[in-house]
Amino acid sequence: MAQPATNVALSHCAHDHEACITDALARADTVCRQQGLRLTAIRRRVLELIWANHQPTKAYDLLAQINAKRGNAAPPTVYRALDFLLEAGLIHKIESQNAFIGCAVDHERNQPKFFICRECGRAAEIQSSQIDDVIASEAQEAGFVVDHQTIEVDGLCAACAGAESTNS
Amino acid sequence: MAQPATNVALSHCAHDHEACITDALARADTVCRQQGLRLTAIRRRVLELIWANHQPTKAYDLLAQINAKRGNAAPPTVYRALDFLLEAGLIHKIESQNAFIGCAVDHERNQPKFFICRECGRAAEIQSSQIDDVIASEAQEAGFVVDHQTIEVDGLCAACAGAESTNS
DNA sequence: CTAATAGCGTTATCATATAACATCAAGGAG
DNA sequence: CTCCTTGATGTTATATGATAACGCTATTAG
């Protein structure tokens, strides 16, 4: 299963998945150029695979996908690329799944947060700053200095919830 | 390091740590009795260790602590106890650390959420329902059916932030 | 008492992640 | 251009986190 998730993605909404990948890579190129970061071949390839999968993807799955065509990269190759991409803000880690997903969001003001569907497996990054605001005020009240947030909401996405109620 | 965290805890606030452990165990006894769950010796011991550590504690650290005195339990022993305690709502998993912490909170209305200090390592469970409310409204708007939340805010607790600004 | 079942011990293995060191490639100083 | 520094990658080994599978034991319902 080299590129298993394309179908999953398309089963949901028929967006132009190719464009969504190339857009993400183009954005990554821009970001890296602006910040003097080197988006090397491996890093670019890992980012591409993450976007192609269109779901939170595990490090060892990425490794397998990289090695599917040719070669036999070792875990550090992937983890180093992931570290770089995380650092650059081009991907996020889904802590509750030990998996990684592409980021298409500007985090000047918002911290990452996700709705994760247990049915289709997809993780939607939500942008609202309301949650951040509430957390900020709660933190302030407690004298806690916020550094980083992990917000992952599991459940059923609208599409899957609809499908389920149709079945029953 | 059999019981390393007691000092850490006391370095912060001189609460009656013994009482806090025995209270937690008493509560656990009650909860289990009420729900027909069996808080066996091992499960009780694991819960006790988690409270004694007073910080998010890793499964293999618990294993080492169990084996410190006598015996040589294997990983499944600890993981089964942890699964039971999670299921019973007596502990939570801190996903960003693969660690476990005791729960002293009623989750009828609130989902678990934590402020985690990067300096002293302690995780404070916060009870406010504001965050839940905001997430609920965001979810509703998106048609997302919430099942479970992972909310972990990393940073500096009031005590450690104070200490740091004093030093500089 | 006895049968059913939940809990536990034990072994092996899978899954996730990193340490450490060798090698290579890109770009600046001379 | 060549040397040299530095950041990136290759490679091997290993640490850390979690579970599968199977058999024995202990609890408890009947």
Domain CATH code at residue B32: 1.10.10.10
- Of B42, B120, B50, B132, the residue nearest B91 (C-alpha): B50
Helices (H), A57-155: 59-69, 75-87, 130-142
Q: Which residues contact B92 (CB under 8 A, 6 or more apart)?
A: B86, B100, B101, B103, B112, B114, B125
A63, A118: one domain: no
Question: Is A109 a domain residue?
Answer: no
Say if residue B11's pLDDT is above 90.
no
Helix segments in B36-129, DSSP class H: 41-53, 59-69, 75-87
- Residues A12, A88: one domain? yes
Residues in chain A: 168
pLDDT the model gives residue A6? 39
Q: Which residue has the higher pLDDT, B86 or B110?
A: B86
pLDDT value at residue A13: 62
Rounded Cα distance, A162 and B3, in Å: 50
When CB atoms are compared, the residue of A138, A143, A156 closest to B144 is A156
Q: Is residue B108 part of a domain?
A: no
B73 shares a domain with B28: yes
pLDDT of residue A12: 59
User: DSSP 3-state assignment of B17?
Assistant: helix
Please say which residue of A82, A102, A122 terminates a domain: A102
Interface membership of A119 toward B (CB under 8 Å): no
What pLDDT is recorded for position A47? Answer: 98
A168 has a pLDDT exceeding 80: no
Please report the sign of the dihedral spanned by the C-alpha atoms of residue B23, residue B24, residue B29, residue B34: positive
Task: Return mean pLDDT, chain B.
Answer: 90
Residue at A107 is within a domain: no
Q: Are residues A81 and A120 in the same domain?
A: no
A22 found inside a domain? yes
pLDDT tens string B38-48? 999 999 999 99
| Count of domains for chain B | 2
Quick one: A74 and A150 in the same domain? no
Helix (H) or strand (E) holding A155: strand A145-156
Same domain for B21 and B54: yes
Q: What is the predicted pLDDT for the residue at A120?
A: 94
Chain A nearest-CA residue for B144 = A157
Q: Give yes or no: residues A70 and A49 share one domain.
A: yes
- What is the band of B6 on the pLDDT scale with cuts at 50, 70, 90? very low
Residue A40 lies in a domain: yes
Closest residue, by C-alpha, to the C1' of C7: B40
The residue of A13, A122, A138, A164 whose CB has the most chain B CBs within 10 angstroms, and thus the best one to mutate to test that interface, is A138
Token readout for B135 is 């997430």
| Domain CATH for B163 | 3.30.1490.190
Flag if B155 and A135 touch (Cβ within 8 Å). Answer: no
Of A52, A71, A102, which one is at a domain's C-terminal end? A102
Report the percent of chain A where pLDDT is more than 70: 90
Pairing outcome for strands A99-102 and A123-125: unpaired
Same-domain status, B149 and B67? no
Rounded, the Å distance between the CA of A38 and C1' of C27 is 13
Residue B107 lies in a domain: no
Residues A120 and A96 in one domain: no
B36 CA, C4 C1': separation in Å? 18
Residues B86 and B33 in one domain: yes
Contact between the CB of B87 and strand C at under 7 Å: no
Structural domain that includes position A57: 5-102
pLDDT digits (tens, 9 = 90+) for A98-127: 999 999 999 988 899 999 999 999 999 999
Q: What is the pLDDT of residues B50-60, one digit of tens each?
A: 999 989 999 99
Same domain membership, residue B72 and residue B137: no
Does residue A90 sit in the same domain as residue A123?
no
Model confidence band, residue B13 (pLDDT cutoffs 50, 70, 90): low
